[in-house]
Amino acid sequence: MSRYLFLLSAFSVLNPILGDGKEQARFTRLERCTNPDYRDIQYLELRACHSTTFGKLRFSSLIGLVSLQLEDSNFSVLRNDQFSSLENLKNLELSSNSIGIVESGAFNNLKQLEKLGLRGCGLTELPEKVFFPLNELQYLDLSDNEITSLPEGIFNENEILRTLLLNDNKLTNVAEALRFLNSLQLLDLSNCGPLESLTLYGAQTLILENSGLTELKITGSVINLKAANNNLTNFSIADPQSVIEMDLHGNRIDSFEGLYKMQNLQRLDLSKNIIEMIPNRTMSYVYELRSLKYLNVSHNLLKNSEFDFIFPASLTHLDISYNRTEMLKSIWFRGMDNLQSLRLEGNILYTYDHTWNYPQSLKEIVAFDTGSWCDKSVEDELRERCKKQGIHFIGMAIVEKENLTIKCKEAGFHKMEKWVSYAKSLYKQLAMNCIEEGFISAQNISYLSPEILDCIGFKAQKIAEFPSFYFKTLIAILLFLTVANTTVWWFLYKKSLPSRV
């Protein structure tokens, strides 16, 4: 017996199977299927079935179905008891239909259903008790709809729900609807909202990216928290020891205080926030971060202070690039015997502590675009020390060599054959060398900022001189050729005239 039936855009063939039609079914691509018994079909997949009567089907002849996929078809209404004859159904996929109405009893009698997909159906609201019959439901996809709110007790009977996808909706308040979901492995609320202040029990993986959050309170536990690109100023987690990974970049966080007792935290991204100070030795909670291996605090407001920063000794990757740090102190890195990668680029490093002994584990230092416009001493010193200790150093020369040709092409210049060594500003050195090589013109200098033009000083004046010089030269050549051509033609004309007798 065939247990699989896959039909694409073939509703006319399915009438006698799914509905009450009287015509005989004609199978054209059912191989090894003699005397088919529709009750034994377990898997049915239909796509792009756009018959006007498709949405009225009751599926009464397919009582053995375990999986039913009806994507991109003509379901506009999910009616009461529409699937009630499918008592064995475990997977129902209805995504990419234009469903305007879901009646309260649409999923009646689906006692074994484990997975339900309603992604991209244009849903705007759901009845409060629509999921009550689904006691075995473990996976629910409601993403990419137009839902603005969820009834308070909509998931009260779905106690074993593991995955709930609500991303890309217009939800603004979901806390009450999710109150009884204490077993979630994945909860996705990204690209919703604005949710603003949110209180949740938690999930193993909680995704809240780009949802307009300003405050987050987790009353339970979370293993992996992704809440990037919000407006978070503070957050709290009732079970901090459960957290292993946190991505909070692109928020308004100004301190490390929310990290208290996160002993198992291994990966932390706090880049693009407004943090001014790394925890120092007066802030004891930093010692709790004993498992932290990856820390990214780039693009913040970190600056030197009277206190000494202190980084967890367990770190293997540290990124403090693009801050306001002016000096590197050896005490910052004391005890960091596992450090492998250190990113310092984009800071104005005027000096560093020469007593700092690099850990033997260190493999890479990235320090291009550091120091002032005209001072490259810090970068050169770091480069020499790294060379002696066999550490890979990425400075301005390497970055410039990789990008100079691209920048020249983007600006309409010819490819330059010589590279500028240890440049502190790619655009500054690019402009200066293009002028020297004669590749630059007034039309191509518009991308340079006023600060860069001021830095290159009087040489910027030469930019406007090049077009004028070339233009005058071209006019002179054309005039010369015109006069010469006229003279030759006049000579030939005179020679061709008959001589007088």
Per-residue pLDDT of the chain (501 residues; tens, 9 = 90+): 445 544 444 433 444 444 444 333 333 333 343 444 567 788 988 877 766 655 556 677 788 899 999 988 878 899 999 999 999 999 999 999 999 899 999 999 999 999 999 999 999 999 999 999 999 999 999 999 999 999 999 999 999 999 999 999 999 989 899 988 999 999 999 999 899 899 999 999 999 999 999 999 999 999 999 999 999 998 999 999 999 999 999 999 998 888 888 999 999 999 999 998 887 665 655 557 889 999 999 999 998 765 567 788 899 999 999 998 888 888 788 888 999 999 988 888 777 777 777 888 999 998 877 754 445 567 777 888 888 888 888 876 544 444 555 555 555 444 433 333 333 344 455 555 555 544 444 444 444 444 444 444 434 444 444 445 555 677 778 788 888 878 877 777 777 766 544
DSSP calls for 101-112: EE-TTTTTT-TT
Q: Residue 267 forms beta bridges with which residues?
A: 245, 294
CA distance 444 to 460: 12
Q: Is residue 362 part of a domain?
A: no
Q: Is residue 333 part of a domain?
A: no
Of 149, 184, 206, the position where a domain reaches its end is 149
pTM listed for this prediction? 0.74
* 388, containing H or E segment: helix 377-389
DSSP calls for 398-458: HHHHHHHHHHHHHTTPPPPSSPPTT-S-HHHHHHHHHHHHT---GGG-TTS-HHHHHHHTT
Q: Is residue 390 part of a domain?
A: no
Q: Is residue 177 part of a domain?
A: no
Structural domains of the chain, count: 2
**Angle, helix 426-437 to helix 396-410, in steps of 10 degrees:** 60
b/e per residue 413-422 (b: at least 16 CB within 10 A): beebeeebee
* 365, containing H or E segment: strand 364-366
Predicted local confidence at residue 216, as pLDDT = 96
Sign of the dihedral defined by the CA atoms of residues 295, 300, 303, 305, in that order: negative
How far is the first Cα of the chain from the last one, in angstroms, to the nearest whole number? 118
Q: Is residue 464 part of a domain?
A: yes
CA distance 241 to 76: 47
Q: Is 270 exposed, middle or buried (0-12, 13-18, 19+ CB in 10 A)?
A: buried
Cβ neighbours of residue 417 closer than 8 Å, sequence gap 6 or more: none
What are the structure tokens assigned to 256, written together? 């490390």
Amino acid identity, residue 55? Answer: G
Predicted local confidence at residue 283, as pLDDT = 60
Cα atoms in the Cβ-side hemisphere of radius 13 Å centred on 428: 17
Place of tokens 């004859």: 85
What Cα–Cα distance (Å) separates residue 159 from each residue in 110, 131, 136, 151, 293?
Answer: 16, 11, 8, 16, 35
What Cα–Cα distance (Å) separates residue 9 from each residue in 47, 251, 354?
Answer: 6, 47, 73
Closest of 200, 196, 157 to residue 178, by C-alpha: 200
Q: Is residue 136 part of a domain?
A: yes
Any idea what the CATH number is for the domain that residue 26 is in?
3.80.10.10
Phi, psi (rounded to 5 degrees) for 205: -120, 120
Query: Which residue segment(s) compose the domain that 415 sits in?
Result: 399-495
Of 94, 124, 149, the position where a domain reaches its end is 149
What Cα–Cα distance (Å) separates residue 72 from each residue in 12, 93, 139, 165?
Answer: 16, 10, 20, 19
Q: Is residue 443 part of a domain?
A: yes
Q: Is residue 105 part of a domain?
A: yes
CA distance 298 to 301: 9
Of 132, 149, 166, the position where a domain reaches its end is 149
